[in-house]
Amino acid sequence: MSDITHDHHDHRPSGWKRWAYSTNHKDIGTMYLVLSMVAAIIGGAASILMRAELHEPGIQFITDPQFYNVLVTAHGFIMVFFVVMPALIGGFGNWFIPLMIGTPDMAFPRMNNVSFWLVAAALILLVIAGFIDGGAGTGWTVYPPLSSADYHPGMAVDFGILALHLAGASSILGAINFITTIINMRAPGMTFHRMPLFIWAMLLTAFLLLLAIPVLAGALTMLLTDRNFGTAFFAPDGGGDPVLWQHLFWFFGHPEVYIMILPAFGIISEIVSTFSKKPIFGYLGMAYAMTSIGVVGFVVWAHHMYTMGFNVETRAYFTLATMVIAVPTGIKIFSWLATMWGGSIKFDTPMLYSMGFIFLFVVGGVTGVTLANAGVDMAFHDTYFVVAHFHYVLSISALFSMYAGFYYWLGKMSGKRYPEWLGRLQFWVTFVGVNLLFFPQHFAGMAGMPRRIIDYPDAYAGWNMVSSWGAYVSAVGGILFFVVLYKTLTSNVKADANEWGVGATTLEWTVDSPAPFHTHEVTPNVAPEPAE
């Protein structure tokens, strides 16, 4: 197409070396996406096993309750650290940060390779943690004393800790890479206030990673030494306090939920703008809404700990601070709606998923503001109401943004056009499935059904059955996704360089599809007026 791509320069190593030693941001991005899909199959299988077990009251086929706990734990960890983060951050981040800011590659390509292989090793360790010594059944929050040597005496929790250390190290290296790239290597003319919102999102995510992950790493190390070397950071019978773990975990944990959702915000902003054929409404407001969400996200952590005995003043503060986050979040929702307002919208699969995202995120946001009230949360904490909240606002929202981004960029990454009708079918199956799956959990939770337990009284049977059927439908949606992927990769319908038309204005649409191995070797200039 234009002279800024040089296909004839496409020399690259072949065979396994291309992948194992890769320093190319696109190849590494692809590897992250593949890892995420593999992990999604494992994590998804765990969730289907759980829903099948909960299909009816009583114990169905998981005879060892600890195995159910292990499934809960593995599902949570795998989805957070090995599905959502690798796809949204490692996958799309690596693929599209350089393409969108107009630079040939990441700042530290070799470090990028290390990041990927660390997270791959971490996934293996985590799976091992599920199988040795009865498995780690601590939940993703790993609260002591349940996670201490008293209740998890085997090696499983130690393997889990090691896995998280590796995944954390990978994230930190990746974040340093992203920030350096975005700060120093933007194309001339692309000032901070002219960066695509996806780049804003990735920059903020990387900063949150740098501030939050080390705290988790520190806390995990303390837990490891408590378990194995006789320290007592979290053991009261040694002068420690298990509540300190909760503070450290949630000081990491709350920003972590934004680490997963900010990239989604970025992707949704790009897609909504593209398919409404309009620039995003309130660009600067969007950018600074994300910034303030990131900042305020560090001072609300104790809304996860309302029941552990704070005095009223403390709970009032955390209630207020938590609700403040709803303000920038609302700004984002209204800006998306305003962008769509009056636009000539094309309802292709990426846009369907983006609108699905906005719907799910609003539902989850409403229950979030409900839970933010310390008084209400006394009743709802650790019930299925919380499960419904965070799956709406985080888990399936993030999943929808991943699907959206994947359909949006699949042509750019593979050079092939996915079959649109199949994409839409996949969307509708998934949309019906996840709502059937998680909406009833609000009712079960309000009726008091506790989370993370293998069995429940008969009173909860109805909604659980509906929920389980929803899970099976969602799984069909997941399988359909792989069908779409297979059909796309084996089809011969070529994707245009810019398959979405005038709405798609970011730099990745200026290079060929599939994006050549080397892009932007000559830096594009995006100054409003050609510079010099």
Partner 1 sequence: MKLKKQRSASRVGAVVLNTEKENSRNGLTAVVLSFLVFSMIGLAYASEPLYRIFCQVTGYGGTTRIAVFDNKSSVAENSITVRFDANVNKLLPWRFKPMQNKIILKPGEQAMAFYEATNVSDKPIVGTAVFNVAPFKVGEYFNKIECFCFTEQVLLPGQTVQMPVTFFVDSSIVEDRNTKEVNTITLSYTFYASDDQSEAENLSKISLKMKKSINNPGETQIIQPG
Active centre residues (catalytic): 75, 105, 140, 170-171, 254, 256, 258, 269, 303-304, 329, 332, 451
Residue 370 as a binder of partner 1 (CB under 8 A): the answer is no
Question: Which of 10, 150, 320, 486 contacts partner 1 by CB under 8 A?
Answer: 150
Contacts of 486 (CB under 8 A, 6+ apart): none
What span, in angstroms and rounded, lies between the C-alpha atoms of 472 and 476?
Answer: 6
- 376 φ/ψ angles, rounded to the nearest 5 degrees: -65, -40
Residue 381 as a binder of Cu ion (CB under 5 A): the answer is no
Contacts of 396 (CB under 8 A, 6+ apart): 360, 434, 438
Question: Which of 13, 134, 189, 450 contacts partner 1 by CB under 8 A?
Answer: 189
* DSSP structural state of residue 81: I
Residue 55 as a binder of ligand HEM (CB under 6 A): the answer is no
What span, in angstroms and rounded, lies between the C-alpha atoms of 165 and 169?
Answer: 6
Q: Residue 288 class from Cβ within 10 Å (0-12 exposed, 13-18 middle, 19+ buried)?
A: middle
Residue 508 as a binder of ligand HEM (CB under 6 A): the answer is no
Question: Which of 48, 121, 128, 176 contacts partner 1 by CB under 8 A?
Answer: 176
Residues 315 to 334 in contact with ligand HEM, rule: CB under 6 A? 322, 325-326, 329
**Which residue type occupies 499?**
E
Which residue do the tokens 């200039």 mark?
Answer: 525
Nearer residue to ligand HEM within complex by CB, 88 or 393? 393
- In Å, what is the CA distance from 218 to each residue of 47, 124, 226, 511? 29, 22, 12, 43
Question: Which of 353, 380, 409, 431 contacts ligand HEM by CB under 6 A?
Answer: 380
Residue 209 as a binder of ligand HEM (CB under 6 A): the answer is no
What are the b/e assignments for 330-368, b being 16+ CB within 10 Å? Answer: ebbeebbebbbeebebeebbbbbbbbbbbebbbbbbebb
Q: Residue 34 class from Cβ within 10 Å (0-12 exposed, 13-18 middle, 19+ buried)?
A: middle
Nearer residue to partner 1 within complex by CB, 455 or 496? 496
Nearer residue to partner 1 within complex by CB, 219 or 410? 219
Nearer residue to ligand HEM within complex by CB, 189 or 285? 285
Number of shown-chain residues binding ligand HEM (CB under 6 A):
23
Residue 311 as a binder of partner 1 (CB under 8 A): the answer is yes
Q: With both helix axes pointing from N to C terminus, report the angle between 420-446 and 461-490 in degrees, rounded to the nearest 10.
A: 160
What character string, x for contact with partner 1 (CB under 8 A) and - otherwise, covers 216-255? Answer: -xxx--x---------xx-xxxxxxx-xx--xx-------
Residues 284 to 303 in contact with ligand HEM, rule: CB under 6 A? 303
Nearest alpha-carbon partner for 517 in 1, 48, 5, 2: 5
> Alpha carbon 374 to chain centroid distance?
27
Task: For Cα atoms 261, 262, 263, give the angle at the middle one, nearest 5 degrees.
Answer: 95
Nearer residue to partner 1 within complex by CB, 149 or 326? 149
Q: How far is the CB of 381 from ligand HEM (least distance, A)?
A: 3
Question: Which of 371, 413, 437, 495 contacts ligand HEM by CB under 6 A?
Answer: 371
What span, in angstroms and rounded, lies between the C-alpha atoms of 386 and 474?
Answer: 20
What span, in angstroms and rounded, lies between the C-alpha atoms of 326 and 297?
Answer: 11
Residue 143 as a binder of ligand HEM (CB under 6 A): the answer is no
DSSP letter string, 417-480: ---HHHHHHHHHHHHHHHHHHHHHHHHHHHTTPBSS-S---GGGHHHHHHHHHHHHHHHHHHHH
Single out the segment in contact with Cu ion by CB under 5 A; choices: 100-108, 253-261, 429-437, 508-516.
Answer: 253-261
- In Å, what is the CA distance from 238 to each residue of 232, 233, 269, 307? 5, 8, 50, 24
Nearer residue to partner 1 within complex by CB, 179 or 436? 179
Number of shown-chain residues binding Cu ion (CB under 5 A):
1
Question: Which of 254, 315, 381, 442 contacts Cu ion by CB under 5 A?
Answer: 254
Question: Which of 260, 363, 410, 434 contacts ligand HEM by CB under 6 A?
Answer: 260
Nearest alpha-carbon partner for 340 in 257, 272, 438, 426: 272
Nearer residue to ligand HEM within complex by CB, 382 or 499? 382
Question: Which of 136, 161, 162, 175 contacts partner 1 by CB under 8 A?
Answer: 175
Residue 522 as a binder of partner 1 (CB under 8 A): the answer is yes
Single out the segment in contact with ligand HEM by CB under 6 A; choices: 174-182, 190-198, 257-265, 347-355.
Answer: 257-265
Q: How far is the CB of 376 from ligand HEM (least distance, A)?
A: 9
For residue 395 the two structure tokens come to 């888990």
Q: How far is the CB of 394 from ligand HEM (least distance, A)?
A: 3
Q: How far is the CB of 520 from partner 1 (least distance, A)?
A: 9
- Is residue 78 within 8 A of residue 39, CB to CB? The reply is yes
Binding stretches for Cu ion (CB under 5 A): 254
Binding stretches for ligand HEM (CB under 6 A): 141, 257, 260-261, 303-304, 322, 325-326, 329, 365, 368-369, 371-372, 377, 380-381, 386, 389-390, 393-394
Binding stretches for partner 1 (CB under 8 A): 2-4, 103-104, 107-108, 150, 172, 175-176, 179-180, 183-185, 188-189, 194, 210-215, 217-219, 222, 232-233, 235-241, 243-244, 247-248, 309-313, 498, 502, 504-507, 509-510, 521-528, 530-532
